[in-house]
Structure 1
Amino acid sequence: MKHPQLKLDNQICHRLYMASNGLTRTYRDSLTELNLTYPQYVVMMALWEKDGISITDLLEKTAIDGSAMTQILKKMEDKQLLSIVKDQHDKRKRVVKLSDEGESLQSKAAKIPERIRCQFPSLNDKEADQLISLLDRVIKDLN
């Protein structure tokens, strides 16, 4: 090989890509039970954490692209999981609120993180926390 720095096995980005794809596949069965895609699940987790937030805050919290968020929210509204209403204090802003059905999904989703964590038997809890910390640093550096 002329340029060993191009060797695929040496690339951080490719490992992150493979890990991300694998993790998304791992979520698929659990999310199918809830009739959610992974991005919809991320939106739901943000709303379960804090309901009635602006779309701007939701974009910031989830790091989902704005045009993708529009489509995600539309599909979730069609599923009657949430509604988008005008902010009471600023009619130009839109606020996302969970419906009763969206709120009730939280109990059904509560076991998903544990199921996913079980997919990493080679990582102990300390290593999992370290991985989260390292990924937070990578994300911060890239942003």
Structure 2
Amino acid sequence: MTQTRYRLHEFLGYRLSIASRQQERRLDDGLRELGLTRITWCVLLAVGNEELSQPSEIAQFVGIDRTATSRALRQMEEDGLLARASGRDDRRTRRVTLTDHGRKVLAKGSPIAQDNNDTMARQLTATEQDTLKALLDKLIEGEQKALKRL
């Protein structure tokens, strides 16, 4: 019986990983100048643009667990990017807000992230971009359903 050889470069997952790493590396390089990582950038977006204020909401938006979120929030608070305060009615809840410094860094990071996106998007037509987004959404939704069944 002949066994088919596994050809890494022929697989969808490998190609997705390479494209993702290229985009991530470019974004990381730009954000590093602002003292940010991709996670801290996503947290800034969650709080500043999406107006999320609860750590659980932020964790879900960013796609990381609560421990990683707590670590990022603590570091970002130390860096003066955000503030955390106890809730009014329930002292156990934490409300997260951007500081003035956090808003300035968000404003400086937005063109970096937009340029990163544009660099990748320019390689595809508008129709190809729409198709790729739809296909990626389909893959993401399928994976989420599969994980829920486990």
* TM-score, normalised with respect to structure 1: 0.86
Deviations 1:10-61 (A, max 9, x none): 3222122212211111112320221101111111111122335101111111
Question: Does the alignment pair 1:2 with 2:8?
Answer: no
Unaligned runs of 5+ in 1: none
CA deviations on 1:52-106 (whole Å, 9 max, x unpaired) are 5101111111111222212211211111101222122332222211111101222
Indicate the residue corresponding to 1:70 in structure 2: 70
Instruction: Please tell me whether residue 135 in structure 1 is matched to residue 136 in structure 2.
Output: yes
Aligned-pair Cα RMSD in Å: 1.9
TM-score (norm 2): 0.82
CA contact (8 A) 2:27 2:113 kept: no
Amino acid at match of 2:14: H
Alpha-carbon shift at residue 142 of structure 1 (Å): 1.0
Determine the structure 2 residue equivalent to 1:43.
Answer: 43
Identity of aligned residues (%): 27
- CA–CA distance in structure 1, aligned partners of residues 131 and 103 of structure 2: 31
For the residue of structure 2 that corresponds to 1:53, the secondary structure is: coil
Number of residue pairs the alignment of both structures matches? 142
Distance in 2 of aligned mates of 1:86 and 1:131: 42
Question: Which one-letter code corresponds to 2:102 in the other structure?
Answer: G
> 63-72 or 123-132, which moves further after superposition?
123-132
**4+ aligned runs moved over 6 Å, structure 1:** none
Alignment partner, residue 124 of structure 1: 125
Larger Rg: 2
Q: Any gaps of 5 or more consecutive residues in structure 2? A: 145-150
User: Bigger CA drift: 110-119 or 60-69?
Assistant: 110-119
